[in-house]
Chain A
Amino acid sequence: MTTIQTGAPTPDPRRVRQLARRSSAARRGGRPAGRRTWWRALLATPSGLYGVVAVVVLVAAAGVSLVYTPYDPGAANPYDQWFGPSLTHLMGTDNVGRDIFSVLLAGSRTTVQVAVGSALIAAVVGVALAALGSLTARWVREGIAVLIDILIAFPTILVALMLASVFGGSLGVVIVAVGVSFGVNIARVSRGEIRRIARSEYVLAATASGLGRGRVLTRHLLPNIAPVFIVQLSWSMALAVLAEAGLSYLGYGAPASTPSWGRLLAELQPYIGVHPLAVLWPGLVITLTVLGFNLLGDGLRDATDPRVRQGGNR
């Protein structure tokens, strides 16, 4: 029992008792011991593990950059241009002599802000539209469906460019554009799924059990569309990172004073033929981060599904 408890982030007494019961049942040989908590199942898959590690490293980098970077990420140093990787400059220096590692470390803050901010907006917009689209009167539902179809027609980057040209380029614009676009997308993708679940017999049984619409939503609908939401949200985080990089590359994203991976990539890109290694670093961290968010989403989707979690095929 103690071995199973250790490592649990929150030792909720009910959970502990459940685990105790499970492990004792497993010892009796009553059932396969394939039962695990969702976070254990997440860490048990290679892709889930990579996703968790990537996101933890990203967040840790952002946290560390608040208090420490090896060099000032904003300070140009004309005498230190184009150093190769060395112990003093881990990833070398760029065209104006900044330490690339320090810029990337500081830029991870921007990435975290954009990813988390846009995912939050996407979640709020997505849940709100999905709830309205499934629980309200028919004419409201149809209206929302039409609205979603119209909003879907605008590419995210275009929305961001439109907002940026009105309000000026800023992180806020990127966050709102990606958040709203993905919120709408989530609502559209989950619409059919919500309708299917809303008509299912277990929802009917819940109604027959005296549950009102609100509680049916929180107890049955939202948990059952969670897989769709999780995948879409992780995707929106990944795309937010790309959109920020892309918009900063185009000059509509973070202002010049904000360190950003996309901006660094844009600044180094003209020199790709001369100093390919310098350009590699921002591209690499963007790729690894996007991959991390995507894999984390896939892992979470599987790990929170009791049917997959206990499959024991890994």
Chain B
Amino acid sequence: MSRDEAVPGRDARNPDDGLTGDDAAARDGRGSTPRAAAHGDETNTPTRTPLLSARGLSRRFVSPRENLFQPGRVTDALKPVDLDVYEGDTLAVIGESGSGKSTLVRLLLALDAPSSGTVTFDGRAVEPGPAAKLRWLRRETGIIFQDPYASLDPRMSVGRIVAEPLTGLGIHSEGDHRRRVVEVLEAVGLDAEAASRYPHEFSGGQRQRIALARAIVHGPRLLVGDEPLSALDVTVRARILDLLAELRASLGLTLVIVSHDIGVIQHLSNRVAVMTEGEIVEQGPTTRVLGRPEHPYTRRLLSAVPTLDA
């Protein structure tokens, strides 16, 4: 199977990349889809279908009962939320620890089953279930986690780790895997030779590059980051941030990034969703939400974090 067949819709998007990789457009908050807007694209109307959409999505955890006569404790990690992500958007989800950000991200990618509500990707309903039934979604999505020390299997070589989506999704023959892995490793700034080494031989930043390589190796349209920068130190963070922006432009990725770093959000995202206690209390263009926050929680959050000058 050729690569283009494996990733439908890729060619249609690629011509945009060279022309509209302008992050400034994304940051000044004109409309929700700056790239499309820059083209005067017809799709920039409120009625167009979002790439990823959640309706009434919620997740309740019931801890096992500790006592025969009392039911287990119930935690609403996520109260029903609605969320739309349009193609080309970079959505930042911000909020304090325990606000349900990670739960939301996991539900969006069907890594967990929602207690209620639905997720739609590109107009198709996402239903958690056996791996084979979700392959179409996995093919279009990639994820990076927070801890680059926990997200790479210590017993697997980097080459096998990065090739995992190709293996899991049945893309390519074995011979092509190696070539594609090398290609992606170089795209994230690592040597081809890294493929035969093991995760423990790399630093945190390099590991996060490996995780990023794995997330994009199969050519997804949507890249989700669950606090991909927060475990890294400041200089490394800046470099990974630049890499993310670069990949977004060259691959035409739609990003959903969970973060609590206002600087990161200003740098990368054009839309923001603010979460607290399992609810999205405010969402909108980055400049609007950060510049004129409406919800008291957003104001508190912004005043608590030292911001960089935009």
Contact = CB atoms under 8 A, between A and B. Distances in A.
A215 B151 contact: no
Interface stretch (B4-12, B130-138, B234-242): B130-138
Given A307-B198, A310-B198, A205 B155 contact: no
A205 B134 contact: no
Contacts of B106: 204
Interface in A216-250: 219-220, 223-224, 226
Interface stretch (B48-56, B115-123, B160-168): B160-168
Interface in B193-231: 193, 196, 198, 200-201, 211, 214, 218
B169 interface: yes
B168 A21 contact: no
Contact of A210 (B139, B147, B156, B196): B139
Contacts of B111: 204, 207-208
Interface residues of B, number: 37
A205 B131 contact: no
Contacts of A205: 143, 145, 151, 164, 211, 214
29 contacts: A18-B196, A25-B193, A30-B193, A202-B151, A202-B152, A202-B153, A204-B143, A204-B151, A205-B164, A205-B211, A206-B168, A208-B109, A208-B143, A209-B138, A209-B164, A209-B169, A210-B134, A210-B168, A211-B167, A211-B168, A220-B153, A223-B153, A224-B155, A226-B155, A306-B198, A307-B154, A307-B198, A307-B200, A310-B198
Given A21-B193, A204-B145, A211 B164 contact: yes
A195 interface: no
B303 to A, nearest CB: 32
Contacts of A210: 131, 134-135, 138-139, 165, 168-170
A201 interface: yes
B200 A215 contact: no
Nearest to A223: B155
Sorted nearest first, the 7 A-B pairs with minimum C-beta distance are A210-B168, A212-B131, A210-B138, A201-B151, A209-B165, A209-B168, A211-B168
B205 to A, nearest CB: 17
Contacts of B132: 212
Contacts of B151: 201-202, 204-205
Given A22-B196, A210-B131, A307-B198, A215 B150 contact: no
Nearest to B196: A18
B141 interface: yes
Contact of B164 (A18, A22, A206, A307): A206
Contact of B150 (A30, A200, A211, A212): A200
Contacts of B170: 210
Given A200-B150, A223-B155, A208 B141 contact: yes
Interface in A292-314: 305-307, 310
A201 B145 contact: yes
Contacts of A211: 131, 164, 167-168
Given A21-B193, A208-B141, 10 more contacts: A18-B196, A200-B150, A205-B214, A206-B153, A209-B164, A210-B165, A210-B169, A220-B153, A305-B154, A307-B154
B142 interface: yes
A213 interface: yes
Contacts of A307: 154, 198, 200
A51 B151 CA distance: 34
Contacts of B139: 210
B200 A306 contact: yes
A223 B193 CA distance: 24
Nearest to A213: B131
B172 to A, nearest CB: 13
Contact of A305 (B109, B146, B155): B155
A192 B155 CA distance: 19
Contacts of A206: 153, 164, 168
Contacts of B154: 224, 305-307
Contacts of A30: 193
Interface string B48-91: 00000000000000000000000000000000000000000000
